[in-house]
């Protein structure tokens, strides 16, 4: 599993000219699912994501979590996080999980996040999406190999 986490002032996902999900201050998370991923792995990644202290406190230190700042989540499935460019110039996606597994785990992550975060927005699995964001920092973290 891979999470690309961006601390944002705002972010949105548009599908076919319609906004599918949008947030203000919070985290935009691009989620990639690998072939061997499980719900247990998803739980581990979500726990780490929600516990990350990457928002600034009153002293300007990154010491606060998403919950501490009342932040929002925008979760977007992105299989291209598993692109391998080791050979040639055309990326290979053989390490990505099947669409069925990826959708199942993505939806699981969304359900679990909604139990813990008041506002969770999403893209649309498998759709062509346009993602717009204002990255706050810039601040981007890659979670993998947990």
Residue of 6, 55, 79, 122 marked catalytic:
79
Return the bridge partners of 77, or none. Answer: 31
d(CA 133, CA 140): 12
Residue of 38, 80, 116, 132 marked catalytic:
80
CB 121 within 8 A of CB 76: no
Residue of 3, 6, 55, 78 marked catalytic:
78
| pLDDT digit string (tens) for the chain, length 146 residues | 999 999 999 999 999 999 999 999 999 999 999 999 999 999 999 999 999 999 999 999 999 999 999 999 999 999 999 998 999 999 989 899 999 999 999 999 999 999 999 999 999 999 999 999 999 999 999 999 88
pLDDT in the model for residue 62: 95
**80 assigned to active site:** yes
DSSP state of 98: P
Q: Which residue has the tokens 């606060």?
A: 64
**35 assigned to active site:** no
As a three-state string, the secondary structure of the chain is CEEEEEEEEEEEEEECCEEEEEECCEEEEEEECECCCCHHHHHHHHHHHHHCCCEECCCCCEEECCCCCCCEEEEEECHHHHCECCCCCCCECCCECCHHHHHHHHHHHHHHHHCCCCCEEECCCCCCCEEEEEEEEEEEEEEECC
pTM beyond 0.85: the answer is yes
C-alpha distances out from residue 63 to 2, 68, 83, Å: 23, 9, 33
**122 assigned to active site:** no
């Amino acid at each position: 599993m891979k999470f690309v986490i961006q601390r944002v002032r705002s972010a949105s996902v548009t599908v076919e000219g319609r906004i599918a999900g949008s947030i203000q201050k919070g985290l935009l998370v691009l989620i990639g699912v690998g072939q061997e991923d499980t719900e247990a792995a998803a739980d581990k990644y979500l726990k780490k994501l929600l516990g990350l202290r990457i928002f600034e406190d009153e002293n300007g230190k990154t010491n606060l979590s998403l919950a501490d700042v009342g932040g929002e989540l925008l979760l977007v499935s992105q299989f291209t996080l598993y692109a391998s460019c080791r050979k040639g110039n055309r990326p290979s996606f053989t390490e990505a999980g099947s669409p069925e597994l990826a959708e199942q785990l993505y939806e699981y992550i969304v359900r679990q996040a909604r139990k813990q975060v008041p506002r969770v927005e999403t893209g649309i699995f498998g759709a062509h999406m346009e993602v717009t964001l204002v990255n706050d920092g810039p601040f981007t973290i890659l979670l993998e190999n947990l």
